[in-house]
Structure 1
Amino acid sequence: MQFPDDDNGQMLAAMADSGIDLTKALDVDFFLVFDDQRDAESALETLTSEQGDNDLEVHFDEDTEKWEVIVCFNMVPEYDALVAKETALNTFAQEFDGISDGWGVMQHQDGDGEFADDHDHDHDHDHHH
């Protein structure tokens, strides 16, 4: 598979290299970042009402001193679909003075509990500013 030479393409190439089957749906986490806790919580409430019972969480990132909302979609990680989702989420986040800050995939998707809570998403790979 060929991937575009940008952050998203490189991320997909790295995932393919690590043995992830990119033709199957998996849980993709999209990160939305807000300066203000109230903005993050407002965005979360809106997402919850739109997404229903999707996996959503807010946490405070002490390194950046920003609030991060993590939205999980189960989707096939196709480049165009990821870009479209990221663009839509960025537009959404801007309504709450936030930004979309890329996406990540937890390794070991198949319910491997020890990784489930390990928010070790690779900030180096896919950071948009």
Structure 2
Amino acid sequence: MTFPDDETGQVLAEMQTAGINLSEMHKVVFFQLFEQELQAKAMVEHLAAQAPDMQVAIEPDELPNVWDVNCTVNMMPSYEAIVAQEAEFELLANKFNGYNDGWGIEA
């Protein structure tokens, strides 16, 4: 399977090379970053109401005064699905003055 030549495509190609079966369901974590804890908590509360089955965790980032909201989605990690989900999280995070900061698969 080939992937587009961008960051998402490169990560998926590396996962495939490492032997991860991308045609199976995986827990994919999407990372959102916020400069204010209240903004991060507002997104967590929004997701609790709108997507109660989604696993969502908030924690301080390695950088001072930055908060991570990690959203875990059970999905088949196709290129199209990852790009679409990242776009949705980017729009949502923007509503709370944050931004999407990538994704990964739980090992």
Percent identity, aligned pairs only, is: 37
Match of 1:69 in 2: 69
Match in the other structure for 1:86: 86
Task: Give 1:88's aligned amino acid.
Answer: E
TM-aligned CA deviation for residue 75 of structure 1: 0.1
Match of 2:59 in 1: 59
The one-character-per-residue Cα deviations of 1:58-84 (angstroms, maximum 9, x if unpaired) are: 000123541000000000000011000
TM-score (norm 2): 0.96
Tell me what 1:44 maps to.
44
The CA RMSD measured in Å over matched residues stands at: 0.9
Report the Cα offset of residue 54 of structure 1. 1.8
Contact 2:36 2:65 in 1 (8 A): no
Show the counterpart of 1:18: 18
5+ residue gaps, structure 1: 108-129
Aligned mates of 1:48, 1:39 — CA distance in 2 = 14
Structure 2 residue identity aligned to 1:7:
E
Higher relative contact order (CA closer than 8 Å, sequence separation 6+): 2
C-alpha distance in structure 1 between counterparts of 2:5 and 2:66, whole Å? 29
Structure 2: stretches of 5+ with no match in the other structure:
none
**Normalised by the size of structure 1, how large is the TM-score?**
0.80
| Matches of 1:72 and 1:62, distance apart in 2 | 20
Secondary structure of 1:30's aligned partner: strand
Report the count of equivalent residues. 107
